[in-house]
Amino acid sequence: MEAIQQLKPKDYRSDIPPIWCAGCGDYGVLASLTTALSVNNVSPVDTVLVSGIGCSSRLPYFVTTFGMHTCHGRSIPIATGIKLARPELRVIVVGGDGDHFSIGGGHLPHVARKNIDLTLIVMDNSIYGLTKGQASPTSRGGMVTTTTPHGSPDVPLNPIAYALVYGATFVAQSFSSNTKLTADLIGQAMNHKGFAFINVISPCPTFNKLDTFEYYKPLLKNIDDIHTDKGDKVKAMSLALTMGRESAEVPIGLFYQEKRPSYVDMLTAIKIKNKGTNKPDLEKIIDVFRP
């Protein structure tokens, strides 16, 4: 990455003002992201933010990095293409629970198991906000919304367990108003070699009247108090399954981290191994897709 003069968080903010509802948790995520970019001295010209569709997916407009506002649920494959074509770039994916656990839910397992070197920040408000309050994959059971007027009959998806099962090598959860922790986790995720997943509980004050800041405030618990071995995947999974949004405690912090070769590293190893043999030249194949 290009070395740059230390920028302040405000230097990463574009001239476009956010248009989220007053009190939206996404403001906290934006503040945390720009803080993390500043603390880690990230060069805007070496960084790409990729989003899908939804309230949270507007975020790339508000940051001075390169950005792509893509199709609903398709930010991960587009970000993967960017990383494979330009592995020297820092690629960050942002979006909501609907984007990544519903229409885009089929992409997350594969980016995790392949260990693509991306950072995924999910702003999880357990509702579809942009389309005016439909139930999402993380909406609690029995929740009344415009699409579930008699209460949702579905079992909500568990984001942390989901990421752990599919092989993400960095798994964390935060709360949007805790900007210090969120910024720290984003910084760790950006510096992690491989696929990093952060689920940020980001309350929607307009359409979700159950999962509010007031509801979560007494439930949040620093996971470091009960889970110090971040390499213990079994313990991380146990906590993800037993401590949830409707339980007595909601853990925030780093659940799990492991070192494993990234997908680009594995491709590089294959190229080196096959060099000088009669096998197809992988570099030439990849070059076809480069600008």
The ranges assigned to domains in the chain are 21-260, 263-291
User: Any idea which fold 21-260 has?
Assistant: Rossmann fold (3.40.50)
The answer to whether the CB of 66 falls within 8 A of the CB of 25 is no
For 235-266, letters b (16+ CB in 10 Å) and e give bbbebbeebbbeeeebbbbbbbbeeeebbbee
User: Once rounded to an integer, what is the mean pLDDT over residues 224-229?
Assistant: 95
> Residue 68 — pLDDT band, cuts 50, 70, 90?
very high
Cα 254 to Cα 191: distance, rounded to the nearest angstrom: 14
User: Once rounded to an integer, what is the mean pLDDT over residues 179-200?
Assistant: 98
Q: Residue 290's pLDDT is what?
A: 67
Instruction: Tell whether the model's pLDDT for residue 247 goes beyond 80.
Output: no
> Residue 277 — pLDDT band, cuts 50, 70, 90?
confident
Q: Residue 291's pLDDT is what?
A: 66
> Residue 287 — pLDDT band, cuts 50, 70, 90?
confident
Please state which of the ranges 107-111, 145-149, 248-252 shows the lowest mean pLDDT.
Answer: 248-252
Crossing angle of the two packed helices 26-39 and 179-191, in degrees rounded to 10: 50
pTM for this model (two decimals): 0.92
Q: What is the pLDDT of residues 3-46, one digit of tens each?
A: 557 899 999 999 999 999 999 999 999 999 999 999 999 999 99
